[in-house]
């Protein structure tokens, strides 16, 4: 029986080759010697396999979740590339070499491909090109700038995802209160609005699609309570602390979403916590948190909200 791809139901992600693979060497050729030499270089190295990049373990595990259904494709990943089709061949050959189940790609020579997120119903675009990510965010798409270097992939099947809350799962309205009124004003406001949900932020749709996959896992666990081990785990790691934690928990619930774990750290450095949690990807809207986390954790900066327009 053919496996159906329904773009409305599936979790669809666009990933630039710069997020999926380590392109430092070829990027250096482009910067130092120009586009023509870069194209020659890619042709010369067509059969040289690209090494995994920051987002590789995350993408591999996402694609592996397709084995949870034999009727529909739960996850679809599309390469979105600034390469032309000819130089993009090296990327696709590397995809095949690494056994990634990616068959769809858009190659646009020197132009940003994120504009095709809407017709493809993408919940996220990942790239190492910060300008592309910011432009996508400004157009209302969920996009993230991968930061740091690839971490070793232990090869297991678990998928651990960690999100900051404000400016990532939620909008940045509470963060704006914090910036304008300070900690005391922020805590007072969040306590008064504890039962009022914040508006959904750029990554909420992505979490909704992840929750759908977790629902399938829940059904399998109920059918086989002693034998099925759940693979997808979601955590919120936020600088919020009591009493502001209540509005975060209530907002997630009132959106109809859920997370497995929550860490309300009250401004404590997130890096050491993430080292223990070991997510395969961490999303945060504040660059300083991302840069600290990226020392040990594959991290993504979501340049959303007022704090990223300063």
- Residue 226 has a pLDDT of 85
- Residue 82 has a pLDDT of 86
| Cα–Cα distance list, 106 to 109, 139, 140 (Å) | 10, 19, 20
Average pLDDT on 153-163 reads 89
Select from 170, 245, 247, 163 the least CA-distant residue to 202. Answer: 170
Select from 182, 179, 294, 170 the least CA-distant residue to 238. Answer: 170
Place of tokens 């050959």: 93
Q: Encoding tokens for residue 269? A: 């450095």
Place of tokens 């914090």: 178
Average pLDDT on 169-174 reads 96
- Residue 175 has a pLDDT of 92
- Chain mean pLDDT for the chain: 93
pLDDT at 310 > cutoff 70: no
pLDDT at 106 > cutoff 60: yes
Select from 188, 154, 134 the least CA-distant residue to 52. Answer: 154
pLDDT at 1 > cutoff 60: no
pLDDT at 251 > cutoff 60: yes
Q: Encoding tokens for residue 23? A: 């392109």
pLDDT digits (tens, 9 = 90+) for 271-297: 999 999 999 999 999 999 999 999 999
With a pLDDT cut of 90, the percent of the chain lying above it is: 75
Model confidence at 28, pLDDT cuts 50, 70, 90, reads confident
What b/e sequence results for 107-146 when a residue is b if at least 16 CB atoms lie within 10 Å of its CB, and e otherwise?
A: bbeeebbbeebeebbbbbbbbbbeebbbebbeeebbbbbb
Average pLDDT on 260-267 reads 96
User: What is the pTM for the complete model shown?
Assistant: 0.94
- Residue 183 has a pLDDT of 86
| Cα–Cα distance list, 236 to 43, 98, 137, 259, 292 (Å) | 43, 31, 21, 7, 17
Least confident span in 21-25, 142-146, 189-193: 21-25
- Residue 264 has a pLDDT of 97
Average pLDDT on 94-117 reads 92
Model confidence at 2, pLDDT cuts 50, 70, 90, reads low
What b/e sequence results for 241-253 when a residue is b if at least 16 CB atoms lie within 10 Å of its CB, and e otherwise?
A: eeebbbbbbbbbe
pLDDT at 32 > cutoff 80: yes
Average pLDDT on 139-149 reads 93
Place of tokens 């997370």: 259
Model confidence at 201, pLDDT cuts 50, 70, 90, reads very high
Select from 79, 53, 78, 58 the least CA-distant residue to 232. Answer: 58
Which residues have a catalytic role annotated? 164
């Amino acid at each position: 029986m053919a496996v159906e791809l329904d773009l409305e139901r599936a979790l669809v992600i666009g990933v630039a080759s710069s997020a999926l693979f380590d392109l430092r060497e070829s990027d250096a050729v482009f910067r130092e010697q120009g586009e023509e030499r870069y194209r020659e270089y890619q042709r010369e190295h067509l059969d040289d396999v690209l090494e995994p990049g920051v987002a590789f373990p995350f993408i591999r595990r996402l694609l592996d979740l397709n084995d949870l259904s034999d009727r529909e494709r739960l996850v679809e990943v599309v390469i979105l590339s600034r390469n032309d089709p000819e130089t993009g061949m090296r990327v696709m050959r590397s995809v095949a070499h690494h056994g990634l189940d990616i068959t769809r790609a858009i190659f646009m020579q020197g132009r940003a491909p994120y504009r095709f997120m809407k017709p493809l119903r993408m919940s996220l675009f990942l790239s190492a090109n910060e300008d592309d990510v910011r432009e996508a965010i400004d157009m209302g798409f969920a996009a993230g700038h991968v930061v740091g270097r690839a971490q070793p992939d232990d090869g297991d099947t678990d998928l651990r995802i960690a999100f900051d809350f404000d400016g990532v799962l939620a909008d940045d309205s509470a963060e704006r209160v914090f910036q304008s009124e300070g900690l005391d004003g922020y805590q007072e406001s969040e306590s008064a609005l504890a039962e009022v949900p914040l508006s959904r932020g750029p990554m909420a749709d992505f979490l909704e699609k992840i929750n759908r996959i977790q629902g399938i896992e829940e059904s399998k666990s109920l059918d086989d309570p002693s034998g099925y081990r759940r693979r997808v785990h979601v955590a919120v790691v936020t600088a919020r602390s009591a009493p502001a934690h209540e509005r975060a928990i209530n907002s997630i619930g009132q959106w109809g979403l859920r997370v497995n774990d929550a860490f309300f750290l009250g401004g404590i450095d997130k890096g050491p916590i993430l080292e223990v949690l070991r997510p395969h990807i961490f999303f945060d809207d504040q660059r300083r948190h991302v840069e600290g986390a990226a020392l040990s954790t594959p991290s993504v900066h979501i340049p959303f909200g007022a704090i990223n327009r300063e």
